[in-house]
Amino acid sequence: MNPTDRRPLIAGLQALAAKTRAVPLRTLFADDAGRVSRFTVEGAGLTLDLSRQRIDPGCLSALLAYAAAVRFDDRRAAMLRGDIVNPTEGRRAWHTALRTPPGPQQPEEVAACLARMTRFALAVREGSWTGERGQRITDVVNIGIGGSHLGPQMACEALERFTDPGLRVHFLSNVDPAAWLNLRERLDPDRTLVIVASKSWKTLETARNMEAALQWLRASGITEAGLAQHLAGVTAAPDLAAASGIGESTLFPFWDWVGGRYSLWSAIGLPVMLAIGPDPFNALLAGAHAMDSHFAQTDAARNLPLMLALTAFWNRLLDPGATEVIAPYCDPLRRLPAYLQQLQMESNGKSVDEQGQALDWKTAAVTWGAPGTDAQHSFFQALHQGTDAHPVEFVLALPERADPQRREEALLANAIAQAQALMLGRSYAQVVAALLAQGVPAAQAERDAAHRVHPGDRPSTTLLIGPLTPHSLGALIAMYEHKTAALAWLWGINPFDQWGVELGKQMAGPIELALAQRRAGGAVTADDPASHAWIERLGGLLAAQDNRQG
Ligand code: F6P
């Protein structure tokens, strides 16, 4: 459907949103005794409570009708079938095939690659794969960025409890030399395996960091032939990887139909498999597959990813300035917000539809967040009393076992309390009454009260994943992947390309050259005066530093 046809439908929803905006959340609860169960949906072991969102049965019907009108069912079926759903790159977005269980439905290349990853991971973990000089591998360094970094790092931290303590996994993404220099200090080259992960094998940061790591391995005396024991590659461009020295036996492929930010389940997950072992990695895939089945088969109104997408879509209509806050009340999920930033904002930060026509509605909200309860002692102030209301997604996990200090109760109670405080707030009259009850003189109580008022009526979502395990993590991440795709289809955009990251990359090339020229004392030109001034300033400072250091 093109924007011209979509526009009146969205205008109708905008009009409904304008009316709904005026209805307090408390009223929605007062008007509907069954609200909590009506807006609680379950799937693949996850429980999602949307009752604190500003949505009522009428809005939900309108949103579901809109999803039907934009042919959500067909879009979903096309993606799951492996059709070309990424028209600007002419590609499929078939990441769901990566988690198809073994059997006739599982693509052969996926099965073959998983089998190779498994053999390799077992050999490294058991110590039969050693460094050139026979030392057991104790450290793995994954060099990659964006989708070749954020998913594996998030998963390795989330599943730390399942990792082998004898095998540490590190991540090197930033081209800032400080990142590698700091990491290098903690590594012994004889015991280190470097995985270079890059779908395109053309990413500057990864190529430069690979050079630095190779130089370090060589400088330690590891021979050219022996490098194969210390170096693996994961890529969809095997020819380029082979040309840069990755041997066939440690080259793990994936395919152009796996988008970078959807690639955790492919060989990009190798560091995760090394960290937790093949069986738990398969459980991660199984959890994702369970969510795929839920997404594929469940009615729209009970479909977790679609309901999340409809709510996010609705929130953009209710308040175009609102952002999306992710607050995991589960410390191991501390990197979930960063992971979701790439997933949601790189996928859906678009301004034209799939045919290239300009949109006149908002797309991806800014995604941000941090774990609770830490975040309560920082930006939650603004969430409660700031001038803007930002819907919060509370992500809860059950503890694996009871804590002697019962801290899990404090953690979970705080999550519930934050959602409650955001919704109920505290009025001026309530604050004054509370101050008077504490014995504060009336004049002072009235003076202080305004600062303690919480406006409330701020929406939130609560999601429970059960215990954090490879299976529940797989289901959680797959849920967000499908939410992201569903949201794109509601907006009419392509979630699977990312042209917006290209321009800056292209501009960096000539600027790097100019900086080097200025550093060497040459004259430089630049495409704009501010860039020119910065090249002069930074190039001059680097040159001065070079002179000082002789
Ligand atoms: O620059 C953005 C991006 O293209 C992401 O989409 C991708 O995940 C990342 O770079 C890394 O790309 P590659 O895996 O090809 O090195």
What are the pLDDT digits (tens) for 330-358? Answer: 999 999 999 999 999 999 999 999 999 99
Q: Which of 247, 282, 317 is the last residue of a domain?
A: 282
Q: How far is CA 151 from CA 92, 114, 165, 471, 478, in A?
A: 20, 18, 20, 15, 12
Residues 47 and 115 in one domain: no
Query: Is 182 a domain residue?
Result: yes
Where residue 69 falls among pLDDT bands split at 50, 70, 90? very high
What is the spatial distance between Cα 241 and Cα 247, in angstroms, rounded to a whole number? 9
CA end-to-end distance (rounded Å), the chain:
64
What is the spatial distance between Cα 259 and Cα 85, in angstroms, rounded to a whole number? 12
Q: How many domains does the chain have?
A: 3
Query: Is 489 a domain residue?
Result: yes
pLDDT higher than threshold 90 for residue 3: no
Specify the residue with its C-alpha closest to ligand 1, atom 10: 146
Cα angle, residue 344 at apex, residues 355 and 463 outer, rounded to 5°:
135
Query: Is 329 a domain residue?
Result: yes
Give ligand 1 pocket residues (Cβ under 6 A).
145-148, 198-200, 203, 206, 260-261, 346, 498, 501
DSSP 97: G
Ligand 1 atom nearest to CA at 148: 14
What range defines the domain where residue 303 resides? 3-69+298-424+458-497
Residues 236 and 116 in one domain: yes
Cα(196) to centroid of ligand 1, in Å?
13
Cα angle, residue 174 at apex, residues 173 and 178 outer, rounded to 5°:
120
Ligand 1 atom nearest to CA at 501: 1
Predicted local confidence at residue 256, as pLDDT: 98
Ligand 1 pocket test, candidate residues 89, 204, 498, most atoms within 8 A of CB? 498
Residues 343 and 261 in one domain: no
Cα(144) to centroid of ligand 1, in Å?
8
Cα(201) to centroid of ligand 1, in Å?
9
Ligand 1 pocket test, candidate residues 91, 347, 499, 501, most atoms within 8 A of CB? 501
Rounded mean pLDDT of 437-443? Answer: 98
What is the CB neighbour count within 10 angstroms for residue 378? 9
What is the spatial distance between Cα 22 and Cα 29, in angstroms, rounded to a whole number? 14
Give me 155's structure tokens. 């998963």
Q: Which of 224, 257, 282 is the last residue of a domain?
A: 282
Query: Is 434 a domain residue?
Result: no
Q: Which of 235, 254, 282 is the last residue of a domain?
A: 282
> Which residue in this structure is represented by tokens 């002697």?
404
Cis peptide before 373 (omega within 30 of 0): yes
What is the CB neighbour count within 10 angstroms for residue 296? 14
Residue 225 exposed, middle or buried by CB count within 10 Å (0-12, 13-18, 19+): exposed
Phi-psi region for residue 509, left (φ > 0), alpha (ψ -120 to 50) or beta? alpha
What is the spatial distance between Cα 95 and Cα 69, in angstroms, rounded to a whole number? 26
Predicted local confidence at residue 168, as pLDDT: 98
Question: In percent, how much of the chain has pLDDT > 90?
Answer: 98
Residues 190 and 106 in one domain: yes
Ligand 1 atom nearest to CA at 200: 15
What is the spatial distance between Cα 538 and Cα 531, in angstroms, rounded to a whole number? 10
The tens digit of pLDDT for each residue in 376-398 reads 999 999 999 999 999 999 999 99
What CATH number does residue 174 fall under?
3.40.50.10490
Where residue 400 falls among pLDDT bands split at 50, 70, 90? confident
What is the CB neighbour count within 10 angstroms for residue 427? 14
Query: Is 442 a domain residue?
Result: no
Cα(261) to centroid of ligand 1, in Å?
8
Residues 56 and 32 in one domain: yes
Residues 155 and 217 in one domain: yes
Residues 278 and 305 in one domain: no
Predicted local confidence at residue 30, as pLDDT: 98
Ligand 1 atom nearest to CA at 260: 8
pLDDT higher than threshold 80 for residue 35: yes
Residues 174 and 262 in one domain: yes
Residue pair 351/497 in contact (Cβ under 8 Å)? The answer is no
Query: Is 196 a domain residue?
Result: yes
The tens digit of pLDDT for each residue in 260-312 reads 999 999 999 999 999 999 999 999 999 999 999 999 999 999 999 999 999 99
Q: What positions carry a catalytic annotation?
A: 346, 377, 505
Residues 302 and 277 in one domain: no
Residues 334 and 399 in one domain: yes
Specify the residue with its C-alpha closest to ligand 1, atom 1: 501
Query: Is 436 a domain residue?
Result: no
Residues 264 and 343 in one domain: no
pLDDT higher than threshold 80 for residue 487: yes
Cα(271) to centroid of ligand 1, in Å?
17
Residues 350 and 483 in one domain: yes
Predicted local confidence at residue 2, as pLDDT: 77
Query: Is 288 a domain residue?
Result: no
Where residue 1 falls among pLDDT bands split at 50, 70, 90? confident
